[in-house]
């Protein structure tokens, strides 16, 4: 594996440099080339250029655990989908976004580097960790689109990229939700208020990495103006485990409610409920299992520069279908966590943020799952700074 990575990384570096040089030369040649074209050709050329969007996104962070025991020998935070290392300044992600959108064709290519891709990829799937998204699509009929490739999953409100969230750090439920899929999506804007999509492919999940089983998913979004929206998504498939080797059928449901009852106030609620064909908890590992997670969140924007967000979260996986098995008061069960986060955000320029967040996360008493198995709760402060700039 080390040999493969050594061969892949120089290629990626070369490709990245070639891309930057190509974009620079392309931008300098655009004006010169357009001067040699007829007016009709110039208009066509300009329309083609306008279909492209090139952006660069970067996020840096520093996390401090306030109750970290002196005996803790690890600075890696449990259940952290981003900002995962404590007591040092680090880079969450540096990403290049390439997008193309026209009347009948579209595509995205997001390339990423940093702590987020390093920790979100399993050891056997390291080759794909540099990809956030890589897919293309075409308009099949009116508002019906077909997209193919490495696609984002419709499950969940939160993103591992802090710029897409009001709070940089993710909930435990968001940490265990599915990631991308390799497959295809069919979606359509059925009415101005109603959107629907169907997904088919091989999943990439934090719990199991990639598997060869096919799963399907459905997403339905209803939006009433900018006041209220409800989004239901699900996935049905087989997260087959290899050790021990057995089927792991599931139905995972995700419900997201978003409301803007008054100006500058954003309310978000998410609830996840899963049914699984096999429990991971002995003695009976063949019984039907289930788990729930969710959060409630409120964001108030005082001005266009300042905002504050409050979030409460809960996750319970009693049968250990997604999480490891722990001992709770002498009984075995999967993960149970609850906590809250308070954040402040300052936006110095467009598409940028400076954030400070305090988080409290706890498990049952005497569970000891934090700080190298030395504590059953965690108090932490996270500072993040990010910016996205590009042609749009």
31 token code pair: 């004006």
- Tokens 């019984």 correspond to 287
pLDDT given at position 5: 34
Residues 46 and 61 in one domain: no
Question: What average pLDDT score do residues 355-370 get?
Answer: 87
Residues 356 and 231 in one domain: yes
Name the more confident of 12 and 330. Answer: 330
pLDDT given at position 375: 83
Query: What separation in angstroms does the CA of 42 have from each of 23, 34, 105, 172?
Result: 19, 6, 21, 52
Domain membership of residue 286 as a residue range: 54-89+140-390
Identify the CA nearest to 256 among candidates 182, 327, 157, 143: 157
CA R_g for the chain? 22
Does residue 348 fall inside a structural domain?
yes
If one counts every other C-beta atom within 10 angstroms of the C-beta of residue 18, the result is 10
Identify the CA nearest to 236 among candidates 206, 270, 271, 277: 277
Report the CATH number at residue 262: 2.40.160.10
297 token code pair: 């969140």
326-328 and 331-333 strand pairing: antiparallel
User: Does pLDDT of 211 surpass 80?
Assistant: no
At 28-78, the pLDDT tens digits run: 544 545 456 677 667 776 777 788 899 999 999 999 999 888 777 788 898
Does residue 121 fall inside a structural domain?
no
Residues 146 and 29 in one domain: no
Residues 46 and 60 in one domain: no
Does residue 11 fall inside a structural domain?
yes
Helices (H), 86-182: 115-120, 172-176
* C-beta separation of 202 from 181 below 8 A: yes
pLDDT given at position 180: 84
Residues 329 and 278 in one domain: yes
Does residue 217 fall inside a structural domain?
yes
Residues 153 and 296 in one domain: yes
- Contacts of 359-363 with CB under 8 Å at 24 or more apart are 359/169, 361/79, 361/172, 361/337, 362/337, 362/338, 363/326, 363/335, 363/336, 363/337
Residues 306 and 325 in one domain: yes
Does residue 207 fall inside a structural domain?
yes
- Contacts of 100-103 with CB under 8 Å at 24 or more apart are 100/51, 100/52, 100/53, 101/51, 101/53, 102/51, 103/139
Helix (H, G, I), strand (E, B) or coil at 377: strand
Question: What average pLDDT score do residues 291-319 get?
Answer: 95
Does residue 107 fall inside a structural domain?
no
Residue-by-residue DSSP string for 291-344? EEEEEEEEEEESSSSEEEEEEEEEEE-TT-SSS--EEETTEEE--EEEEEEEEE
Residue-by-residue DSSP string for 47-95? HHHHTEEEEEEEEEEEEEETT--TT----BPTT-SSS-BBSSEEEEEEE
If one counts every other C-beta atom within 10 angstroms of the C-beta of residue 115, the result is 19
User: Does pLDDT of 239 surpass 70?
Assistant: no
Residues 155 and 41 in one domain: no
Distance of alpha carbon 128 from alpha carbon 111, whole angstroms: 10
Question: What average pLDDT score do residues 87-116 get?
Answer: 94
Residues 31 and 152 in one domain: no
- Total number of domains in the chain: 2
Residues 206 and 324 in one domain: yes
Contacts of 64 (CB under 8 A, 6+ apart): 86, 87, 380, 381, 382
pLDDT given at position 22: 52
Identify the CA nearest to 87 among candidates 301, 374, 388, 371: 371
303 token code pair: 């001005």
Residues 166 and 245 in one domain: yes
Residues 72 and 24 in one domain: no
pLDDT given at position 334: 82
First to last CA, the chain: 39
Query: What separation in angstroms does the CA of 369 have from each of 81, 326, 362, 378?
Result: 16, 8, 9, 10
Helices (H), the chain: 2-35, 39-50, 115-120, 172-176
At 244-298, the pLDDT tens digits run: 555 667 788 999 999 999 999 999 999 999 887 776 666 766 777 888 999 999 9
Displacement of CA 222 from its chain's centroid (Å): 22
Helix (H, G, I), strand (E, B) or coil at 207: coil
The pTM of the full predicted model, rounded to 2 decimals, is 0.84
């Amino acid at each position: 594996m080390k040999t493969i990575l050594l061969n892949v990384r120089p290629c990626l570096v070369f490709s990245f440099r070639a891309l930057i040089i190509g974009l620079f030369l392309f931008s300098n040649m655009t004006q010169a080339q357009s001067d040699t074209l007829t007016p009709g050709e110039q208009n066509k050329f300009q329309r083609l250029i306008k279909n492209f969007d090139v952006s660069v996104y970067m996020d840096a962070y520093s996390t401090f655990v306030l109750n970290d025991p002196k005996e803790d020998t690890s600075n890696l935070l449990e259940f952290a989908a981003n900002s995962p290392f404590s007591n040092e300044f680090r880079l969450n992600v540096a990403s290049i976004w390439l997008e193309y959108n026209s009347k009948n064709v579209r595509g995205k290519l997001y390339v990423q580097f940093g702590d987020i891709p390093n920790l979100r990829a399993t050891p056997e799937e390291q080759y794909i960790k540099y990809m956030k998204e890589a897919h293309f699509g075409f308009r099949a009929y009116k508002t019906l689109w077909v997209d193919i490739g490495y696609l984002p999953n419709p499950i969940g409100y939160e993103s591992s990229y802090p710029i897409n969230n009001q709070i940089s750090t993710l909930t435990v439920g968001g940490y265990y939700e599915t990631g991308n899929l390799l497959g295809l999506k069919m979606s359509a804007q059925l009415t101005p208020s109603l959107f629907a999509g169907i997904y088919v492919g091989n999943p990439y999940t934090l719990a199991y990495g990639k598997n060869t089983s096919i799963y399907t998913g459905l997403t339905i979004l209803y939006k009433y103006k900018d006041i209220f929206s409800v989004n239901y998504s699900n996935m049905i498939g087989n997260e087959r485990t290899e050790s021990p080797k057995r089927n792991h059928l599931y139905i995972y449901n995700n419900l997201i409610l978003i409301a803007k009852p008054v100006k500058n106030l954003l309310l978000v609620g998410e609830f996840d409920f899963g049914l699984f064909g096999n429990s991971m908890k002995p003695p009976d590992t063949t019984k039907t299992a289930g788990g729930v997670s969710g959060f409630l969140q409120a964001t108030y924007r005082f001005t266009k520069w300042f905002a504050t967000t409050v979030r409460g979260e809960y996750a319970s996986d009693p049968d250990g279908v997604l999480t490891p098995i722990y001992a709770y008061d002498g009984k075995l069960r999967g993960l149970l966590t609850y906590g809250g986060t308070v954040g402040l955000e300052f936006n110095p320029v467009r598409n940028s943020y400076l954030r400070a967040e305090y988080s409290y996360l706890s498990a049952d008493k005497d569970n000891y799952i934090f700080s190298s198995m030395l504590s059953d709760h965690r108090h932490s402060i996270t500072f993040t700074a990010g910016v996205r700039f590009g042609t749009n």
